[in-house]
Amino acid sequence: MSSPPTLAIETSGLRKLFGQTKAVDGIDLRVPPGIVYSVLGPNGAGKSTLIRMLATLLRPDGGTATVFGHDVVRDSDAVRRRISVTGQYASVDDALTGLENLVLMGRLQGYTWPKARQRAGDLMDAFGLTHAAGRLVSTYSGGMRRRLDIAASIVVSPDLLFLDEPTTGLDPRSRNQVWDIVRALLAGGTTILLTTQYLDEADELADRIAVVDQGTVIAEGTTDELKASVGQVALHVRLRDPGQRDKAEDLLTQELGVPVHLEGDPAEMSARVEDNSRVLQALGALTRASIEPAEFSVTRPSLDEVFLTLTGHKADDQSAGDAGEEAAA
Amino acid sequence: MTSSIEHVDDRVMAILVTHERPPKASPVSATITHLWRGIMAFKHFPAQLIDIILLPAIFLLLFTYLFGGAFAGSPSQYLQFFLPGIAVQSVILMTVYTGTAINTDINKGVFDRFRTLPFWQPAAIAGNLVGDVLRYLIALTMTIGMGLALGFRPGGGILGVLAAMGVLIVFAFSVSWIFAAIGVVASVPERVSGTSMIVIYPLLFMSNIFVRPETMPSWMQVLVKVNPLSHAATASRALMHGTAGFWDVMWALIASLVITVVFAPLAVRLYRSKNTR
Ligand SMILES: Nc1ncnc2c1ncn2[C@@H]1O[C@H](COP(=O)(O)OP(=O)(O)OP(=O)(O)O)[C@@H](O)[C@H]1O
Ligand SMILES: [Mg+2]
């Protein structure tokens, strides 16, 4: 509307410490309005901490953050008028029914009782929860609860919606439902910041992705840019005869045009490949050279592989310390 | 469950196109909404009523028959003195529950959501406390009703009893801010009740609720005299028996005011700073 268009989110050097833990350690983000922006990272990367600061729930220890131009600390009321949050752990009231939860949200945002009831009923309907509207939320399944949680966030449709790992723990069907909802919200004009641990989810929904690890952004860009840096697919080959690995490595490097990574197992190797068709050529070349793979697989890169590529080591290794602390706490 | 979801896309979209912005909820409306939330939750778990009804009943029976003979010659004579006092205990014990309830509530995920909504934030606590007035009412009705059945005869008549209930509810409302503050800062509900009981039991016994202070050592009489619970019991007694002078009631109201003025802003301040920990 106004020019230049205000960014939905802009942060600069954003930091949050918990004792010795640098949960968020200098994050710069620029999220334009009207897109799905995904923050991708393993357990303990700082995703929830980042969202809680942007949503005015947590005070940053350093740096600045604005939402639609409003400072999250100094102007938190203005920020709160534009945003909605669906936290990582269901933020609905177990002691009320599903419908009552939505009525509550409508009332607290200024709807009259009749308007709040109507809006609540409409949303229950749209989210396929009408049959459970009068049941206590404590009896809902994980997928139903998540949908209700998202419904509660859009009773008054926000300009910016934060979704913290909206599909973790859901079965594939429930996950698809949540994805549908996200796309519908986007089409309705809501900007969405979504955190996830799954690369395919970010790939499916996001226009831009920031990969975070240990509180910092280690890669940022459009989905295509990110994939280009990681490769479209991962080829994994296991040979019958480990003695042939050097020869196979040379052949594959040549055919695929990318470096081949030798695995710990002396018969295994892998590569990240841009172009699917080259995989077939490369496998053909191996066969012609009488090198027999015992098995091979072609998979889309997982989060682990993104990390392997971006950082040179696995996500697990890095966050092991944090995960341990979390479990102990 | 499955079939309805196939259309989720279009229908959610249809709902989203109405970008309505209702005006900000007023503080009163936000408080009423939180009150409604409490009442609905209560409606779904009526078992809470058992606590509210049983606790005052047990204490009333226990103390009347345990101490009655020794303190006043007979249980029924003791009851005339004791009932207006135990009414104070009945509501005060309910205020401790307020703290526990607030703590349980605040640690729910839904409070994170409340904090990101642009309504008057103290409503989240105030709504709870207003809802508790209903509990006080039930606890008082229960206590006084049983007392009447056991032979309590208030000289002040029904008006006197109603006036006493009014003063006790005002008093309990003010005290509930103390426990609201404890409820906000405590890490777990168990700690709220633990801390609260340590505060509340000495205050209850070091008052004129159970016995007249004349037989106590003089240093203790001083403590009993300044104890706000004594002021509440004095007002309750005087109103129920129809002997109330101006100051009998006034001290209870002043104590309520002072407690509220100190602890309400404190509880709200603590709640707000908990927001952005
Ligand atoms: N309230 C807290 N007190 C102490 N440490 C915390 C707190 N919240 C988060 N942390 C620590 O900060 C780091 C980042 O946590 P955060 O919850 O932001 O990670 P995350 O990316 O959301 O992880 P997950 O995928 O497991 O949800 C972790 O090491 C965590 O232990
Ligand atoms: Mg998290």
Question: Where along chain A do its domains lie?
Answer: 9-95+136-227, 231-300
Q: Tell me the per-residue pLDDT of B201-257, one tens digit each, with 9 for 90 and over.
A: 899 999 998 888 888 889 989 999 999 999 999 999 999 998 888 888 999 999 999
Q: Tell me the per-residue pLDDT of B106-129, one tens digit each, with 9 for 90 and over.
A: 888 788 889 889 888 889 888 988
Of residues A283 and A232, more confidently modeled? A283
- The mean per-residue pLDDT over the stretch B37-51 comes to 86
Of residues A36 and A283, more confidently modeled? A36
Q: Tell me the per-residue pLDDT of B193-209, one tens digit each, with 9 for 90 and over.
A: 888 888 888 999 999 98
With a cut of 70, say whether residue B8 has pLDDT above it.
no
Q: Binning pLDDT at 50, 70 and 90, where does residue B134 land?
A: confident
Strand runs labelled E in chain A = 9-18, 21-31, 36-40, 62-67, 70-71, 83-86, 160-164, 191-196, 208-213, 216-222, 233-239, 261-262, 268-273, 293-299
**Pairwise CB contact (< 8 Å): A108 & B114:** yes
- pLDDT the model gives residue A322: 40
**What's the whole-number average pLDDT of chain A?**
86
**Pairwise CB contact (< 8 Å): A110 & B5:** no
- The mean per-residue pLDDT over the stretch A161-169 comes to 91
Q: Binning pLDDT at 50, 70 and 90, where does residue A133 land?
A: very high
* Partner-chain residue, chosen from A56, A136, A157, that has the shortest CB–CB distance to B16: A157
- pLDDT the model gives residue A321: 38
Give the pocket of ligand 1 (CB within 6 Å).
Answer: A 18, 21, 23, 41, 43-49, 88, 197, 322, 325-326
Q: Binning pLDDT at 50, 70 and 90, where does residue A4 land?
A: low
Mutate to test the interface with B, among A85, A93, A101, A161 (most CBs of B within 10 A): A93
Domain map of chain B by residue range? Answer: 26-275
Give the closest residue (by CA) to ligand 1 atom 24: A43
Give the right CATH number for A9-95+136-227 from 2.60.40.420, 3.40.50.300, 3.40.50.150, 3.40.190.10: 3.40.50.300
Give the closest residue (by CA) to ligand 1 atom 12: A23
| Global confidence as pTM | 0.79
Look at strands A208-213 and A216-222 and give their pairing: antiparallel
Give yes or no for B25 touching A (CB within 8 A). yes
CA of A195 to the centre of ligand 1 (A): 13
With a cut of 90, say whether residue A28 has pLDDT above it.
yes
Using a CB-CB cut-off of 8 Å, the residues of chain A touching B11 are 125-126
With a cut of 70, say whether residue A313 has pLDDT above it.
no
Interface confidence, given as ipTM, is: 0.82
- The mean per-residue pLDDT over the stretch B55-80 comes to 86
Give yes or no for A138 touching B (CB within 8 A). no
Q: What is the Cα–Cα distance from B172 to B155, expressed in whole angstroms?
A: 24
Identity of the residue numbered B67: F
Closest to B16 measured CA to CA, from A189, A49, A204: A189
Q: Tell me the per-residue pLDDT of A86-121, one tens digit each, with 9 for 90 and over.
A: 988 878 998 899 999 999 999 999 999 999 999 999
- pLDDT the model gives residue B34: 94
Q: What is the Cα–Cα distance from B71 to A179, expressed in whole angstroms?
A: 72
With a cut of 80, say whether residue B9 has pLDDT above it.
no
How many Å lie between the alpha carbon of A180 and the closest alpha carbon of chain B?
6
Q: Which CATH class is domain A231-300?
A: alpha beta
**Pairwise CB contact (< 8 Å): B116 & A177:** no
* Partner-chain residue, chosen from A57, A110, A131, that has the shortest CB–CB distance to B116: A57
- The mean per-residue pLDDT over the stretch B146-164 comes to 93
Look at strands A261-262 and A268-273 and give their pairing: antiparallel
Q: What is the Cα–Cα distance from A8 to A11, expressed in whole angstroms?
A: 10
**Pairwise CB contact (< 8 Å): B119 & A125:** no
- The mean per-residue pLDDT over the stretch A178-205 comes to 88
Using a CB-CB cut-off of 8 Å, the residues of chain A touching B114 are 108
With a cut of 70, say whether residue A122 has pLDDT above it.
yes
